[in-house]
A and B are shown apart, each in its own frame.
Chain A
Amino acid sequence: MTLQAVLLAAALVAFPFVVHSSFHLNAAILVFLFGAVAQAWNILGGYAGQLSFGHSVFFGIGAYTSSVLLWRYAFTPWGGALAGAFLAATVSLIVGSPTFRLRRHFFALATLALGEIARITFLNWTYVGAAIGLYLPLQYRNIGTYMMWDGKRPYYMVALGLCALAVALAALIDRTRMGPYLRAINADEDAARALGLHVLRYKQWAIATSAALTALAGSVYAQYVLYIDPYNVMTARISLLVVVIALIGGRATVWGPALGAVFIVLLSEYSRTVLGHLGEGYDFIVFGAAIMALSLYEPRGLYGLVRRVRSRPLPQIAGAAQDLIGPPSPVAAEAVLSIEDISKRFGGIAALDRVGLSVRRGEVVCLIGPNGAGKSTLFDCITGFQRPDAGAVRLRDASLTGAPAHRVALLGMVRAFQLVRVFSDLTVWEHMLVAQPHRNESVWAALRRSAPRVEGQGQALLQFVGLLDSRGILADELSYGQQKLLAFAMALMSGAEVILLDEPTAGVSPQMTQQLIGHIREMNRQGRTFVIIEHNMAVVDALAHRVYFMADGHILAEGTPEQIRGDPQVLEAYYGR
């Protein structure tokens, strides 16, 4: 890989010294600039999954900021570009934070609307030239510190540098923890929260970085074309073009958008010379059809088609496998988790009515009861997925009442879901990386590889559940039972003290049920606490220290499995009067 990269770099750097045609250099510059913007878009739209149809705003902010600073204040565009990047990042945070929670369509439409709002505003804002536009003052040409030259070669170098920066950033994201984190958030936000990821912070990082990079490209573009107006740099056309490039090239891939830019920009430029203005029409018809086809068959775009040919090697693991065998740990006397008087109503119906239970450290507590008893709702209420109307939850000495989902995970309680949730497009190994403990981990820290100790732990846990050889496979392709094992391994990976499992053996073959029982028992022996919702009484008998029986939102009985079996209220609840 490195040799290929060096050769590619050398070829690209040598290109403008070998080729002198203005037309080809211009095409190359546009490829690099739009490639950079597409890569930037990809950070937000491809990796993090927030599809933006309004990136023209950031492009325009970059172009206008550096140009206005140059025109009105003789401020160097090198600095102006940075100022533009900073401004774009700020705007993106203001705009993004409240809109992230919208469904994807509406986020896209909101960004489209914002793009149009920006365009109309700039069209009428005389300070920046309004509809007349802005002619960059030409007296700064050929003074290196003003990013303005006569010939195309210096622009080529700047644009190449920017594109290289964008690709390098994408590579950094892809190869460190940030990639799996963003893609997990993209695939299933709630499941990511349940593992302790602060989803909002990561999305904010993604949009700010994306905006800043796009703005830099806008500044360089302005310096290159020497005339900007809202139609050229702040139009929906640019926003949509960038989306097309990223989609056709391949979302959430390192080289995809750059590949897309090469393909699309070159095709546009060359078809325009051959077919005149019509060229612009015909090639976009093809792109439109291509995107429709890709949406049906190959969501990874051109890059995906290329990748299909080469098989993915098993990921290397840096750390040594840790020893999972530990000394047995007795059940403690004090409670590690205590739930008091949790109540929750939905409309007129009380799903939970003053439910309380406590779990001692090292116990396995099972929660059983008929359909609609409120068991999963209870889990939702204590893990921050639902807000209880009343009641309190404590984990050791920390209060969890009302805490958001990711905080509950960070404090040491992690849940697996009833219908197993795995992240589409992530491999088994990447799941383990996403599940690692996130306490004291800042967003920027995610731009590093996981610690060897962490990787060793992941390896050991995969070995433990028998998925080590499958670590390169996409979780989507595992069998249902294997996915349940993966979810279990992820819960263990998080280092959580209390693990909540919701029907872990539902839909799983009898053999795998035995496996799961064995794993839970072993982990419990080493001191992990489990609270398990189960319907399979054989599992309850095999694992539970204590059982709580719930029906109609109430706890009706508590005791050992034997005691529960003999309890008349339990019999009545199942059998009826």
Chain B
Amino acid sequence: MDFVLQAALNGVLLGLVYGLVALGLSLIWGVTDIVNLAHAEYLMLGMYATYWLWALAHIDPLYAIPLVVPAFFLFGYVTYRVLIRRILSAPMVSQIFATFGLLFFLRYSAFAAFGPNVRGIWGSRLEGSVPLGGLVLSLPKGAAALAALCTFAGLWLFLNRTRTGKALQATAQDHRVAQTLGIDTEQMFALSWGIGIGAVGVAAVFLSPFYQTSPAIGDAFLLLAFSSVVLGGFGTVSGALVGGLCIGLVENVLGALIAPTFKLLFVFVVFIAVLLVRPAGLVGK
């Protein structure tokens, strides 16, 4: 039974990180109505950025945050201005192709630049583990979960307690009405991409100490992020959090109970089940 509890703990910790990635996806989707198929590629690139800062400049991931996160905020902003802005009113098929092309572009840029090999960080300040009750709390996972929680809290405060945050929510709920209030929706769209990708940057930095990266990790993380979004309901901060936690638990607990090699399979099955059973917002053209 102990190993199930341990799996549950890990599931919660990882789930918070999945939720953070899902939050970025959900924010982008809510505000700009674009489903970002390339979302997980940003995670992959964020992990590479952290890795290279560690490998070449010997910067510990913990100190990489002030470098990576603002850079990725900018990355998201630029993605909006260069590509996304042009497909906002295009037919859905064109939007799918655009983000799909972006996925390919980013993934294979990494492939060409960094090669196919798996890269991992070791010896970071966030290594090791501590006992917690009868269980083991892995420090890097704990730190990642904590960072995710802090980011969730920060974003919640931003969205609900600041003028700009409320303007962002307004744009997400009805961008026409937002314009009648004087909100510059163009800026809001760009901001949502900046925040969405910035959040992915946070997740990437904190995943690096215990998760290896390669150009191919995008597929699994994309589905993990989407599973979290559809499960938790998109559009709310709490939804992404809850969805992420559920997916983390499904992955780890079912994996521990049934078979670890099938961890992701359970997640994907849940994903499809949710799509079929709870299609609010997911059905129709």
Residues in chain A within 8 A of chain B (CB atoms): 49, 51, 98-99, 101-106, 108-110, 112-114, 116-117, 120-121, 123-124, 188-189, 236, 240, 243-244, 247, 277-278, 280-282, 284-285, 287-296, 299, 424
Query: In whole angstroms, what is the CA distance A49 to B107 when docked?
Result: 25
Query: In whole angstroms, what is the CA distance A113 to B221 when docked?
Result: 11
Q: Does the CB pair B111–A110 fall under 8 Å? A: no
Q: Does the CB pair B282–A106 fall under 8 Å? A: yes
Q: Does the CB pair A285–B108 fall under 8 Å? A: yes
Q: Does the CB pair A109–B98 fall under 8 Å? A: no
Q: Does the CB pair B98–A102 fall under 8 Å? A: no
Closest to A294 in B: B97
A-B contact count (CB 8 A): 143
Residues of the A chain whose Cβ atoms lie less than 8 Å from the Cβ of B37: 105, 108
Asked if A292 meets B96 with Cβ closer than 8 Å, knowing A281-B108, A281-B111, the reply is: no
- Give the dominant DSSP class at B's interface: helix
Least CB distance, B216 to chain A, in whole angstroms: 8
Q: Does the CB pair A110–B219 fall under 8 Å? A: no
Query: In whole angstroms, what is the CA distance A25 to B67 when docked?
Result: 50
Q: Point out the residue from A116, A247, A278 that lies within 8 Å of B97, measured CB to CB.
A: A247
Q: Which among A99, A244, A284, A293 has the highest number of chain B CB atoms within 10 Å?
A: A284
Query: In whole angstroms, what is the CA distance A99 to B101 when docked?
Result: 24
Top-3 shortest CB links A-B = A288-B105, A281-B112, A291-B101
Residues of the B chain whose Cβ atoms lie less than 8 Å from the Cβ of A290: 101
Residues of the A chain whose Cβ atoms lie less than 8 Å from the Cβ of B279: 101-102
Q: Which among B116, B219, B261, B262 has the highest number of chain A CB atoms within 10 Å?
A: B219
Residues of the B chain whose Cβ atoms lie less than 8 Å from the Cβ of A291: 97-98, 100-101, 104
Q: Point out the residue from B91, B104, B261 that lies within 8 Å of A124, measured CB to CB.
A: B261
Closest to B262 in A: A120
Interface segment, one of B12-20, B169-177, B187-195, B270-278: B270-278
Interface segment, one of B49-57, B82-90, B157-165, B203-211: B82-90
Residues of the A chain whose Cβ atoms lie less than 8 Å from the Cβ of B268: 113-114, 116-117
Asked if A236 meets B96 with Cβ closer than 8 Å, knowing A98-B276, A120-B262, A281-B111, the reply is: no
Q: Does the CB pair A282–B103 fall under 8 Å? A: no
B226 touches A (CB below 8 Å): yes
Q: Does the CB pair A236–B219 fall under 8 Å? A: yes
Residues of the B chain whose Cβ atoms lie less than 8 Å from the Cβ of A120: 261-262, 264-265
Query: In whole angstroms, what is the CA distance A236 to B111 when docked?
Result: 16
Closest to A287 in B: B104
Q: Does the CB pair A99–B276 fall under 8 Å? A: yes
Query: In whole angstroms, what is the CA distance A291 to B230 when docked?
Result: 27
B132 touches A (CB below 8 Å): no
Q: Point out the residue from A98, A110, A240 that lies within 8 Å of B104, measured CB to CB.
A: A240
Least CB distance, B233 to chain A, in whole angstroms: 14
Residues B99-143 near A (CB distance < 8 A): 100-109, 111-113, 115-116
Residues of the A chain whose Cβ atoms lie less than 8 Å from the Cβ of B95: 295
Q: Does the CB pair B111–A288 fall under 8 Å? A: no
Q: Does the CB pair B276–A105 fall under 8 Å? A: no
Closest to B284 in A: A103
- Give the dominant DSSP class at A's interface: helix
Least CB distance, B234 to chain A, in whole angstroms: 11
Query: In whole angstroms, what is the CA distance A282 to B111 when docked?
Result: 8
Q: Does the CB pair A295–B87 fall under 8 Å? A: yes
Closest to A103 in B: B282
Q: Point out the residue from B107, B115, B264, B276 that lies within 8 Å of A116, measured CB to CB.
A: B264
Q: Does the CB pair A109–B226 fall under 8 Å? A: yes
Residues in chain B within 8 A of chain A (CB atoms): 35, 37, 83, 86-87, 90-98, 100-109, 111-113, 115-116, 219-220, 222-223, 226, 230, 259, 261-262, 264-265, 268-269, 271-272, 275-276, 279, 282-285
Least CB distance, B79 to chain A, in whole angstroms: 11
Residues of the B chain whose Cβ atoms lie less than 8 Å from the Cβ of A113: 223, 268, 271-272
Query: In whole angstroms, what is the CA distance A247 to B94 when docked?
Result: 11
Residues of the A chain whose Cβ atoms lie less than 8 Å from the Cβ of B104: 240, 244, 284-285, 287-288, 291
Q: Which among A243, A282, A291, A424 has the highest number of chain B CB atoms within 10 Å?
A: A291
Q: Does the CB pair A108–B223 fall under 8 Å? A: no
Q: Does the CB pair B223–A292 fall under 8 Å? A: no
Q: Point out the residue from A188, A240, A287, A299 that lies within 8 Å of B93, measured CB to CB.
A: A299
Closest to A106 in B: B282
Q: Does the CB pair A295–B97 fall under 8 Å? A: yes
Residues of the B chain whose Cβ atoms lie less than 8 Å from the Cβ of A277: 115-116
User: Could you write out 23 A-B pairs with CB less than 8 Å apart?
Assistant: A99-B276, A106-B282, A108-B96, A110-B275, A112-B219, A116-B220, A117-B269, A123-B261, A188-B285, A236-B219, A278-B112, A281-B112, A284-B107, A285-B104, A285-B108, A288-B102, A292-B98, A292-B102, A295-B97, A295-B98, A299-B94, A299-B97, A424-B91
Q: Does the CB pair B284–A288 fall under 8 Å? A: no
Q: Which among B95, B100, B220 has the highest number of chain A CB atoms within 10 Å?
A: B100
Asked if A288 meets B35 with Cβ closer than 8 Å, knowing A112-B223, A123-B261, A189-B285, the reply is: no
Q: Does the CB pair B262–A292 fall under 8 Å? A: no
Query: In whole angstroms, what is the CA distance A340 to B17 when docked?
Result: 57
Q: Does the CB pair A116–B219 fall under 8 Å? A: yes
Q: Does the CB pair B101–A288 fall under 8 Å? A: yes
Query: In whole angstroms, what is the CA distance A160 to B97 when docked?
Result: 29
Query: In whole angstroms, what is the CA distance A193 to B101 when docked?
Result: 32
Residues of the B chain whose Cβ atoms lie less than 8 Å from the Cβ of A116: 219-220, 223, 264-265, 268
Q: Which among B103, B104, B106 has the highest number of chain A CB atoms within 10 Å?
A: B104
Q: Point out the residue from B101, B226, B269, B284 that lies within 8 Å of A292, measured CB to CB.
A: B101
Q: Does the CB pair B87–A296 fall under 8 Å? A: yes
Query: In whole angstroms, what is the CA distance A49 to B230 when docked?
Result: 23
Q: Does the CB pair A102–B264 fall under 8 Å? A: no
Least CB distance, B256 to chain A, in whole angstroms: 16
Least CB distance, A371 to chain B, in whole angstroms: 19
Residues of the B chain whose Cβ atoms lie less than 8 Å from the Cβ of A289: 101, 105
Query: In whole angstroms, what is the CA distance A99 to B116 when docked?
Result: 34
Q: Does the CB pair A280–B86 fall under 8 Å? A: no
Query: In whole angstroms, what is the CA distance A498 to B96 when docked?
Result: 39
Q: Does the CB pair B284–A101 fall under 8 Å? A: yes
